[in-house]
Amino acid sequence: MTRIFLFISILLLSLNAAPWREMKSFTLKKDETVRLLIKTTTAKKERILLWRWTLYTDKALVVHESFDQFVGQHILYLGLNDSFRKPLLPALKSERDVPYALVVFKKFDDKNQTAQFDFLLIDKEKRVLVDYLEKEVK
């Protein structure tokens, strides 16, 4: 009986385990930029991931991002399309082992005119390291 309870407990804990390896929250004012230094553990490459928001209207947040000098723009809505995903390295064996960053729009504070984001690093193979550089104001 004890073995069954132990097995079920371990199973439930493994199912509730977070899929991300690292998480950090940021609160940004308009045009403040988050800069992250992405390092590979094998080839010792360094790349910059950055994002900022420029407009909040009709419950939609316009976010600009850049990774390896490739730029993108996303329109994020709370609860629906509230995040963008950025692959950080190519796949080794399958698409399931691709390390990627997930930037999630959590909330907007109308009073302070700030947006809150969560940065999640999903990297099962531990191929990526992240250095959090200071926020910049343009």
Q: What is the pLDDT of residue 79?
A: 81
Q: What is the pLDDT of residue 14?
A: 44
Model confidence at 4, pLDDT cuts 50, 70, 90, reads low
- Going through 4-127 in order, the beta strands assigned E by DSSP cover 22-29, 32-40, 46-57, 60-67, 70-77, 83-87, 100-109, 114-122
Q: What is the pLDDT of residue 19?
A: 74
pLDDT tens-place string over residues 8-47:
545 444 434 557 778 899 999 999 999 999 998 877 889 9
pTM: 0.80
Question: In Å, how far are 30, 42, 131 from 36, measured between CA atoms?
Answer: 18, 18, 6
Tell me what the mean pLDDT of segment 119-133 comes to: 90
Q: What is the pLDDT of residue 2?
A: 58
Residues 74, 115: Cα–Cα separation, whole Å:
14
Phi, psi of 78 (to 5 degrees): -65, 130
pLDDT tens-place string over residues 69-117:
899 999 999 888 899 999 998 877 766 778 999 999 999 999 999 999 9
Residues 43, 38: Cα–Cα separation, whole Å:
12
Q: What is the pLDDT of residue 95?
A: 67
Q: Which of 138, 122, 120 is nearest to 53 (CA)?
A: 138
Model confidence at 1, pLDDT cuts 50, 70, 90, reads low
